Structure 1
Amino acid sequence: MDDTSPRPAWRQTLSLIAVAATLALLLYLPDASLTQAGTVVVLCIGLWATGWLPPWLTALIFFTLCMVGGVAPASVAFAGFASAATWLVFSGLVIGTAINHTGLGKRVAAAVAPMLASGYASAVLGAGLLGLAASFFMPSAMGRIVLLVPIMLTLVARLGYAEDNPGRHGILLSAIMSTFLPTFTILPANVPNNVLMGASEAVLGVSLHYGDYLLLHFPILGLLKWLALMGLILWQFRATPAAPATFEEQRPPAGRASMMIGALLSLAVLLSLAVLLWMSDGWHGISPAWVGMLVALACLFPGSGLLPARPLTQINLEPLIYVAGIVSLGALAHESGLGEAIAERLLALLPLAHGADAGNFAWLALIATALGMVVTLPGVPAVLTPMAPQLAEVTGWSPYAVVMSQVLGFSTVILPYQSPPLIVGLLTAGLTLRQATRITLPLAVITLLLLWPLDYFWWQWLGVI
């Protein structure tokens, strides 16, 4: 359910009661306790998962409860605002507005639309391929969504899909989810992958290599998952007849033509430089977030012509608040020891043993999946990687195999709130969490029942276990 749709009064009432009860409990409990952290995390995850309150409002509730209840110091409670991911969201919102204002999105959509106009299925597959292909060139999922969503919004309009047409929702979901869900199998293409790479080197001295990582994960969790994703979208979102597609570019009035062309070319040059810097971040070491902020500053600078007057009044900052909240929640779960405590408790209950490779494979994947619902996806490798030596000893696996098992977990997204880039794409595209859950939940079931067993045999064939 999105922020603009009406919510039944009883849901708002129950949410208010839950928030008030949580606040009362926090004031009773000792400050900075594990129980305090767990109470806030459970409340906020529940509100995000149900959609009973707008996501940005739940984030503000999280910040407020943490400070009023003494759950964590400000450096942890507001850690999301110090995160590069949050500022990449802000730069993305600015760039997206500039793409629309200058007409660049319309130009690109006009060029792409004829290739996708042969039918709804071809539009879904084409949008999905575009999103997946971008993952091999741009290392940041948020950066890819920043560029794709404004273009896709223009594209679906040109293809004749109205706001309430399920076909519009299917095409947008295809692009957004294709550039995110299968790309956990491409080493630099998502934040959890990079956290895993850094933690493996720092904790275990195990270096991950692009080719080995791709061979181990992409065939099953990448390519086959993408095909399942396409099938689910075509099944769940069946398009109603669309209006005739339009491929002609509407020209601005003669007086504004040269001005708009200049702004469009300037933005095209800025984005080209940004993509080059995003693609080569391993060489120059500048975070994709700060590359995006440089472009955003250029767009925001007075007189650039790339944004309307008073641009911040034209930009929806709700995704920024949400992402800061979800990143801060992950920081709270990590810094308070909640994530580690949950992981250790679960590991103590699991029947891991030497020689039980199939069971070990399933249980390690399940614990990573479950943990991802508490600490969010980037928190999974941060919590589990330090435990890899003990897990390797219990299972008889190599530390490399134990570390790689985390990918099965954090690549299995059950509910959209687990992933800030996915949420930003949905909010920017005007899609609801419920629409996205119609894809993520059945895709998670398919992953557990079909793709994980296939992946187990693939790992055995490769000799990893």
Structure 2
Amino acid sequence: MSSSVAVLPWRLGVSLLALLGALGWLLLGSADGSVLQAGIVVVLCIGLWATGWLPQWLTALIFFTLCTVAKVAPASTAFAGFESAATWLVFSGMVIGAAINYTGLGERVAARVGPHLASGYPQAVVGVGLLGLIASFFMPSAMGRIVLLVPILLTLADRFGYAEDDPGRTGVLLSGIMSSFLPTFTILPANVPNNVLMGASEAVLGFSPSYGEYLLLHFPILGLLKWLLIMGLILWQFRAAAPSPFSTEPPSKLGRGGAMMGALLAFAVLMWMTDAWHGISPAWIGMVVALACLFPGSGLLPARPLQQINLEPFIYVAGIVSLGALAHQSGLGEAIAGRLLAVLPLSPDATVGNFAWLSVIATVLGMLVTLPGVPAVMTPLAPQLADVTGWSPSAVVMSQVIGFSTVVFPYQSPPLIIGLLTSGVSIRQAMRITLPLALITIVLLWPLDFVWWRWLGII
């Protein structure tokens, strides 16, 4: 990102003018944490994140500064990201990823998996994507999956012979990252927005969907079919030659550090898979493993490890989460949803229109309050929406999944962004998949999903 700012200084000038204008407006206006003030900050930061005119971490620092200097929100809201489990899962993930590489465990896993994927570029892309999708059924944390997969994907790309600027490298990395995230909105415990929806539904309506009901309703179209579209888009957008043949020599034996790292990862995966039973957040499981890696003398990381770990993603995710907290706690999300509901033609006689407009509302909110904020804003409105549309409250709640699973920009989701930043894939490269995928989803998958819902008798 920094290189693009240097090449195009006008972007830096426009960003600076927008920042100064927003700061002046905030300081001259009332300092009462109003919805208008929150809207100014949210729109400015989302614009900078979406365009990539400034480094993501710098925009996050701008967000913290604006909120504090102009008293847009109390510190508990402005810095809510640093209290979030998602942010600390990012930190632990970066430490774990560095340890996987340092101990040679990533090389070992790649040596085992790689020969089965090296017969051709399509086989490599689809194989890596299938690995990410299957992992979603066993690991409930999207961030945890990204943490484990990215170091292995990087090693695989190197072993395949794809250099830094090779489209094949980007294709392999995007396949694993996006497969472990985008289709998983249809698997109940596999993503944060799904879990927020389940908890909010229980709190507001007194019920939450079961695993099987949720999977049947969403996975065939928005999960499996979308995954196939992702594979096709990657192969179309990032065409490459076949990977280099893998060595047939058996991988070297793991040293003490690699064996210890393998045992720690096995512990983490087991705990992540059973979090519904023990109730410990995946973030703190990750932090236990990260602390073991950081402990002096462990041999899992080099001396002074934090000097060698890029902490920019940590700041960025804290900013994203804090922005979502500001949009929700200031009432901005509810205000936008209320305005949309007031002007949209929802009625019991317009089933197709209800389906489309409810999906649109959730999609638009996802771009403003980030994906986890969608169910937090929309679920309390479910009783009102059920009265207006004539749908059951359960159907209204489930319509949110159509919207928050339609990811337009990568900044909407911390796990996706972390996967991109830690793998070296640029936001613009990722948008070559997310933008056309969102368009195809709206034009093709939404109508198919409507037919599927009708066939199941949901609406």
TM-score bracket, normalised by the shorter chain, equals: over 0.9
Q: Is the Cα–Cα contact under 8 Å of residues 119 and 243 in structure 2 kept in the other structure? A: no
In 2, Cα distance between the equivalents of 1:317 and 1:187?
30
Name the residue aligned to 2:209. 208
Q: Is the Cα–Cα contact under 8 Å of residues 159 and 246 in structure 1 kept in the other structure? A: no
User: Could you list the per-position Cα deviations for residues 340-359 of structure 1 after superposition, in whole angstroms to 9, with x for gaps in the alignment?
Assistant: 00000001011000121111
Instruction: Provide the secondary structure at the position in 2 that maps to 1:455.
Output: helix
In 2, Cα distance between the equivalents of 1:401 and 1:33?
33
Instruction: Provide the secondary structure at the position in 2 that maps to 1:377.
Output: coil
Give the counterpart letter for 2:209 in structure 1.
Answer: L
Counterparts of 1:6-405 in structure 2, within 5 Å, are 6-31=6-31, 32-240=33-241, 242-246=243-247, 248=249, 261-405=255-399
Instruction: Provide the secondary structure at the position in 2 that maps to 1:368.
Output: helix
In 1, Cα distance between the equivalents of 2:112 and 2:381?
50
Give the counterpart letter for 1:47 in structure 2.
Answer: L
Q: Is the Cα–Cα contact under 8 Å of residues 364 and 405 in structure 1 kept in the other structure? A: yes
Q: Is the Cα–Cα contact under 8 Å of residues 158 and 246 in structure 1 kept in the other structure? A: no
Q: Is the Cα–Cα contact under 8 Å of residues 165 and 240 in structure 1 kept in the other structure? A: no
Give the counterpart letter for 2:58 in structure 1.
Answer: L
In 2, Cα distance between the equivalents of 1:245 and 1:165?
18
User: Could you list the per-position Cα deviations for residues 292-341 of structure 1 after superposition, in whole angstroms to 9, with x for gaps in the alignment?
Assistant: 00000111111111011001011110100000000000000001000000
Q: Is the Cα–Cα contact under 8 Å of residues 60 and 319 in structure 2 kept in the other structure? A: yes
Q: Is the Cα–Cα contact under 8 Å of residues 118 and 243 in structure 2 kept in the other structure? A: no
- Point out where structure 1 has 5 or more consecutive residues left out of the alignment: 252-256
Alignment size in residue pairs: 457
Give the counterpart letter for 2:223 in structure 1.
Answer: G
TM-fit CA distance, 1:241 = 5.8
User: Could you list the per-position Cα deviations for residues 170-229 of structure 1 after superposition, in whole angstroms to 9, with x for gaps in the alignment?
Assistant: 010000000000000000000000000000000110221000000000000000000001
In 2, Cα distance between the equivalents of 1:228 and 1:244?
27
Q: Is the Cα–Cα contact under 8 Å of residues 37 and 332 in structure 1 kept in the other structure? A: yes
Instruction: Provide the secondary structure at the position in 1 that maps to 2:255.
Output: helix
Name the residue aligned to 2:411. 417
Give the counterpart letter for 1:24 in structure 2.
Answer: G
Are 1:461 and 2:455 an aligned pair?
A: yes
Q: CA RMSD in A?
A: 1.2
In 2, Cα distance between the equivalents of 1:323 and 1:247?
41
The alignment's TM-score, normalised by the length of structure 1, stands at: 0.97
The alignment's TM-score, normalised by the length of structure 2, stands at: 0.98
Identity %: 74
Give the counterpart letter for 2:205 in structure 1.
Answer: L
Give the counterpart letter for 1:207 in structure 2.
Answer: S
Give the counterpart letter for 2:384 in structure 1.
Answer: Q
Give the counterpart letter for 1:298 in structure 2.
Answer: A
Q: Is the Cα–Cα contact under 8 Å of residues 354 and 395 in structure 1 kept in the other structure? A: yes
User: Could you list the per-position Cα deviations for residues 71-127 of structure 1 after superposition, in whole angstroms to 9, with x for gaps in the alignment?
Assistant: 001000000000000000000000000000000000000111100110000000001
In 1, Cα distance between the equivalents of 2:2 and 2:111?
30
Q: Is the Cα–Cα contact under 8 Å of residues 110 and 247 in structure 1 kept in the other structure? A: no
Q: Which one of 387, 401, 405 corresponds to residue 407 of structure 1? A: 401
